Amino acid sequence: MKMSVGPPLCFLIMLLLLSLSLFSVSCRGQEQENGSSGAPMERGEQEALYSAIQGFVGKWWNGSDLYPDPCGWTPIQGVECDLYNGSWYVSALNIGPVYENSLRCAPDAELTHHLFELKHLTSLSVYSCFSSTRRNTVRVSISSWGRLSNTLESLEFRSNPGLVGTIPTSIGSLKQLQSLVILENGLTGPLPMELANLISLKRLVLSSNGFVGQIPPAFGGLNSLLILDCSRNNLSGPLPLTFGGLTSLLKLDLSSNGNLDGFLPRELGNLRNLTLLDIGGNKFSGGLIRDIQGMISLKEMVMSNNPTLRGDLTSIEWANLQDLEALELSYTGLTGRIPESMTQLKRLRFLGLSDNSLLGTPPPELASLPYISSLYLNGNNLTGQLDFPGTFYGKMGRRFSAWNNPNLCWRPPLTPWSAVNVPVGVRPCSEGGNASSSRSGSSLLVTEMSEGLDVLHQDSQIEVSLGCRSRGVDGSGWGSRSKEMMALSAWVLLLVVFV
């Protein structure tokens, strides 16, 4: 016999489902009347949250009206809560246009002292909030940071050009802090030594502000650090010798400060886990020290635009850097030959050696590195025959350049060759191998060449998990309700049977 569900039974099932959903709605309604979902929230905590948010988004924002139960049934986008002692507290506050309905800042947004009354705040992020186009600028120099010293684990100010002044020294009291990101703001002044008290820090990003002065040697004591990024400021002076103690470090970026100088410390060789070293755009000197080969995990090494660096490429046993994928040494005053040992960098994708004073003939094996996709040799004093296969020039296109080496020539293949597969700006050798005297044009899109590295830089951005717990806002009040629910469904079933 075939089983079939007749229309009346179907109707009854629908009725059952409908009544169940009605029940759950009315249940939520009851909860509304009884304050919040399950646990209460301290009056003071709730008021502090409303006032803190009002400081950012403007006086029009009436929290108690719009969000009477911010940790329960009226959640606020960007606010996360957690239970302590059976009460709700705000654990994370994220301000800024991340989602469609995120809290956005008013033109006269401000940091108010109410923030510091949130007793269990572990994470604060203020993104794209204080804009410089207004006359109104905001200072973080509030002395109250110490009040969050036992709770705050992550603090982030990002893309706030209107955030000016100096880093307050009281930030140094946030002893639980694991991540401090102060990126693309209008902050100036020296880096406070007190930051070195933040011994739990795993990530310290101070990039793209207007910080001046030296990098405090005390930063070398932050030995849990995985990421240290002080790039794009106006820092000067030497790279502290103490940085040799940052042995956990994965990423060190001090690029584009313009005035960092002095010799590279030999202690850099201790950073055996470092995958990115970027000190480009400064005034370092003293050449490529041999100790660099101790950084055996390096994937990217960028030192370009340090015209005073000098030295040569033979000081390093390149075979030790087996993970190296990008090596950018353009415009560093390098002299001497390109050593054969560089052709042992089997993972190399990007090699930038342009605008130096390199001599000799480039090793032909460079062209047969398995992953090589960008090779810049232009603007040197390379000589002799460029002995790469014709297919190489075609494959590389604009990502190969050797122009502006007056005494370098290339040998056309004996077989007919396509006009595309020629190294731009390099003369064909005359019979017998001498460079012919005809000069060819060397106008090239230089910008496109630097693009290659930018892309690479983005590719290998290191994501580091900081082990922060994710917290749900879910109340616990639903468990007891399932019993009531079952009782009700039984009742409905009974009704159904009667019908």
Ligand X SMILES: *[C@@H]1O[C@H](CO)[C@@H](O)[C@H](O)[C@H]1NC(C)=O
Positions in the binding site for ligand X (CB under 6 A): 34-35, 62, 64-65, 84-85, 210, 234, 247-248, 273, 357, 381, 383, 430-432, 434
Least Å distance, CB 372 to ligand X, is: 26
3-state secondary structure labels for all residues of the chain: CCCCCCHHHHHHHHHHHHHHHHHHHHHHHHHHHCCCCCCCECHHHHHHHHHHHHHHHCCCCCHHHHCCCCCCCCCCCCEEEEEECCEEEEEEEEECCCCCCCCCCCCCCCCCHHHHHCCCCCEEEEECCCCCCCCCCEECCCHHHHHHCCCCCEEEEEEEEEEEECCCHHHHHCCCCCEEEEEEEEEEEECCHHHHHCCCCCEEECCCCEEEECCCHHHHHCCCCCEEECCCCEEEECCCHHHHHCCCCCEEECCCCCEEEEECCHHHHHCCCCCEEECCCCEEECCCCHHHHHCCCCCEEECCCCCCCCCEHHHCCHHHCCCCCEEECCCCCCEECCCHHHHHCCCCCEEECCCCEECCCCCHHHHHCCCCCEEECCCCCCEEEECCCHHHHHHHHHHEECCCCCEEEECCCCCCCCCCCCCCCCEEECHHHCECCCCCCCCCCHHHHHHHHHHHHHHCCCCCCCCCCCCCCCCCCCHHHHHHHHHHHHHHHHHHHHC
Closer to ligand X by Cβ: residue 6 or 86? 86
Distance of closest approach, residue 64 Cβ to ligand X, in angstroms: 5
Closer residue to ligand X (CB): 235 or 288: 235
Closest distance between ligand X and the C-beta of residue 358, in Å?
9
CB of residue 429 to ligand X, shortest distance in Å: 9
Return the number of the residue (369 or 426) whose C-beta is nearest ligand X: 426
Nearer to ligand X, 45 or 350 (CB): 45
For ligand X, the closer CB: 314 or 373: 314
CB 456, min distance to ligand X, A? 22
Comparing CB distances to ligand X, the nearer of 337 and 395 is 337
Min CB(195)–ligand X separation in Å: 20
- Smaller CB distance to ligand X: residue 50 or 127? 50
How far apart CA 77 and CA 98 sit, in angstroms, is 10
Q: What span, in angstroms and rounded, lies between the C-alpha atoms of 286 and 242?
A: 18
Instruction: Tell me whether residue 144 or residue 430 sits nearer to ligand X (CB atom).
Output: 430
User: Closer to ligand X at the Cβ: 272 or 346?
Assistant: 272
Min separation Cβ 66 and ligand X, Å: 9
- CB 324 to ligand X: min, Å: 17
- What is the closest distance, in whole angstroms, from the C-beta atom of residue 31 to ligand X in the complex? 9
Q: CB count, 10 Å around CB of 349? A: 22
Q: For ligand X, give the closer residue by CB, 258 or 286.
A: 258
CB of 361 to ligand X, least distance (A): 12
